[in-house]
Each structure stands twice: as structure tokens, then as C-alpha cells.
Amino acid sequence: MIRRLLVWVLLFGIIGTTVDLVLLAHYEDALQLIPLVVLAAGLAAVVGHLVQPRSWTVRALQVMMSLFVAAGVTGIGLHFDGASGFQLEIDPSLEWWPLVKKVARSQSPPLLAPAGMVQLGLIGLIYAFSDSRARARSGAGFEEGIR
């Protein structure tokens, strides 16, 4: 039951995030396309696993969800870089900590918005690693893999 809920949360999160990024026109340059490409590939991996649940589809899902985490962390860095550049144009005398506080409060780009990708990736990894095919392949139970 929990696995079914996780996969539904994951699917709704992927679709919702994709719609949000498209509505925000988050495709103006190549770097902004990264989350859209990762989301599309992630959706394909989830649907592929649901249609054909095999050990290789579990592995594909694990890889894609790891890419979600990496894309989210990278996005936070890119959002920080963009917002800090803008803040430094306004006030070049800003020191590090006041700059960080201004960036954290900025709305464009929102610093922690890409953290949603990290969260979706972690949900997907929990779902994928709780799959019996993943446990059988590794030779360890899910609980043993956490320790």
C-alpha cells in the first residue's frame, strides 16, 4: 500500500513540476531545459516500470531518481548564482552573509525551488529500493541496505 502511495505521489509530483516549469517558461536557455528533460525521462522511467516491472526497469528508475537529486542540487546552485549576480549588480559592496540572506529571500529565481526535484528523487529512490527485485539483486533486505 505504501509503495502504491509513493508512486502516485511521485507521478503527481513529476507532472505538477513539469506543468509548473512550462507555465513559467523555464526553457529560455539550455540550462533551463535540464529539469524538463530529467522530468520527462523520469516520467518515462516510472511509467516503464509500472508497465513492465523488471529488475532493469528498477535500475533505470534508480538511475533517473539519482539524476533528479543531482539536477535539484545543481539547480539550487544555479539559482543561487543567478540571484547573487543580480544582487551584486544592485549593491556590489554586499559581503558574503548579507548576500546569502538577500539571495535566500529573493523571489527570482527562487533559491529553493529546485529542492522539489531533490524531494521527488528521494521519494523515487525509496520507491525503487523498496522493490523486491532491487532487494533480490543486491542480496540484502531493504532494512539491511539502510544500515
Q: What pTM was computed for the model?
A: 0.85
Domain spans in the chain, listed from the N-terminal domain onward:
2-139
Q: Choose among 10, 21, 15: nearest CA to 109.
A: 21
Q: What pLDDT score does 140 carry?
A: 47
DSSP character for 130? Answer: T
Cα(76)–Cα(115) distance, integer angstroms: 7
Per-residue pLDDT of the chain (147 residues; tens, 9 = 90+): 889 999 999 999 999 999 999 999 999 999 999 999 999 999 999 999 999 999 999 999 999 999 999 999 999 999 999 999 999 999 999 999 999 999 999 888 999 999 999 999 999 999 999 887 665 555 544 444 433
Q: Is 10 exposed, middle or buried (CB count within 10 Å of its CB: 0-12, 13-18, 19+)?
A: buried
Residue that has been written with the C-alpha cell 539550487 in this structure: 76
Identify the pLDDT of residue 108.
Answer: 87
Res 56: pLDDT: 93
What pLDDT score does 135 carry? 57
Closest CA relative to residue 68, chosen from 46, 109, 35, 19? 35
**pLDDT at res. 93:** 95
3-state secondary structure of 97: helix
